[in-house]
Amino acid sequence: MRKLYVFVGLILCSVMPFYAVAQSQDEKKEKKKKERKEVKPNYKHKFTTFHLEARADFEYNYDLREWSNLSNPTNPMPGSATQHNYGFRGDYFNFLLGGDIGDHVSYFFRQRIIPAKGVTELFDNTDFLYIQYKFNDQWSLRMGKEAIFVGGLEYDAPPIDVYYYTHYWGSFPCFLLGMSAAYTDKSGKNKIVFNVANSPYVHYMDNKWNSGLLSYNLYWSGNFGHFSTLYSLNFLEYQRGKFINFIVLGNKLSFDKWSIYVDYINRAASFNNFFKDFSVVSRLDWHVSPSVNLFAKGGYEQNFSGCYYTSGYENSLVDADMLMPNNQAHCFYGLGMEFRPRVYPDLRFHAYVANSVMNRPSEYEGDYSWKHQTLTANVGVTWWLNFMKFLPEKLK
């Protein structure tokens, strides 16, 4: 009998560890099931942007135009004309809305509130309308309408903050439908974006819509303390299979009291046209106090790269660069100030004086050279109505 008890005991001792392991695994499985049931997808919404913005100016322009026929010295036909233009105007009135949906999804929307309908497509007056999915801290995917990813600090600034500018900036229809993938390194200092979107040339030719033209954009944003960069390499289709190339180098130094940026934008439809078509622009800001900022801005740009022949639009010659007219040079410079009352910093007053000179030497026999100089004085006010401050409980 004793031998039987010993034998049974040995069997139980050998089986119990396996039973305990199996029971432990079953308990872990049950625990994971409960955790899966308890963890629900997070679709909680949170507003990140919800406001209106508007800017109104009073501007005076002194315009001087001069021209002559340099190709025929015996008959130069000199001429000039002056104009004085002034008055009040509203520059911007925008509605902005953005938010997060859970931990991974976000969206942003900016609409210019104007009465005229779009010229070429439904979303012409919509600057931003995109949705973004964030996989993790490094990777994200975005689809919709936004500014295509081109480098440079002037290009990157909100239009409502740009008072006078390059011809390149003022001519660029940058808000286009597309998609982009972004990678941010673990330090958070470097962000690389690959963007595919419609080409700005879909808006060319008297605002007639030209489908089938795409742009391919590689963008790098770097932040290294006082020094930051906005660089890009861009290929924009102006005809099927034909591209104009951008190399954009945006550099900025920032300190407590002052900052300065310098942008260089090289545009070339062929290797032979490098350095014939470019823009250089710089702005210096001196933050005198939390309320007062003084700034100086200037730039130079030119386009001597020529034209291309198109058989698809009335057999005509067309400038390969749509952002700066061919055989022209532009120089501008100016000084200005900004003031934000401490009691209400969402209100901004500004004033500036700027001079701009656009000129064209005679290119073909019979053409006239000309110079257009504009001296501008401007004062204005910008207002941000931030609903996030007035409706905090409703927007949480």
How many residues comprise the chain? 396
How do residues 297-330 score in pLDDT, each as one tens digit?
A: 999 999 988 766 555 545 566 667 878 888 889 9
pLDDT at 68: 72
CATH number of 48-395: 2.40.160.10
Q: Which of 210-219, 229-238, 300-309 has the highest mean pLDDT?
A: 229-238
370 beta partners: 67, 360
Region of residue 297 (left: phi > 0; alpha: psi -120 to 50; beta: else): beta
Q: Taking a C-beta distance cutoff of 8 angstroms, is the pair 133, 103 a contact?
A: no
pLDDT mean over 51-73? 84
* Domain ranges, ordered by start, for the chain: 48-395
Q: How many helices (H) and strands (E) does the chain have?
A: 5, 18
Higher pLDDT, 110 or 23: 110
Separation between Cα atoms, residue 382 and residue 51, nearest integer Å: 13
Looking at residue 118, what DSSP letter applies? Answer: P
What Rg value do the Cα atoms of the chain yield, rounded?
30
Separation between Cα atoms, residue 375 and residue 221, nearest integer Å: 35
Separation between Cα atoms, residue 119 and residue 109, nearest integer Å: 20
The end-to-end CA distance of the chain, in Å, is 76
Separation between Cα atoms, residue 376 and residue 355, nearest integer Å: 6
Which pLDDT band holds residue 14 (cuts at 50, 70, 90)?
A: low
Which pLDDT band holds residue 373 (cuts at 50, 70, 90)?
A: very high
- Locus of tokens 């973004």: 132
Separation between Cα atoms, residue 376 and residue 16, nearest integer Å: 92
Which pLDDT band holds residue 76 (cuts at 50, 70, 90)?
A: low
Which pLDDT band holds residue 207 (cuts at 50, 70, 90)?
A: very low
Higher pLDDT, 276 or 30: 276
Nearest to 355 by CA among 61, 153, 159, 66: 61
DSSP one-letter string for 53-67: EEEEEEEEEEEEEEE
**Residue 110 CB partners (closer than 8 Å, separation 6+):** 94, 95, 96, 97, 126, 127, 128, 129
pLDDT at 27: 62
Q: What kind and span of H or E run contains 147?
A: strand 139-147
**pTM of structure:** 0.83
pLDDT mean over 180-187? 96
Percent of the chain with pLDDT over 70: 76
Average pLDDT taken over every residue of the chain: 84
pLDDT at 21: 47
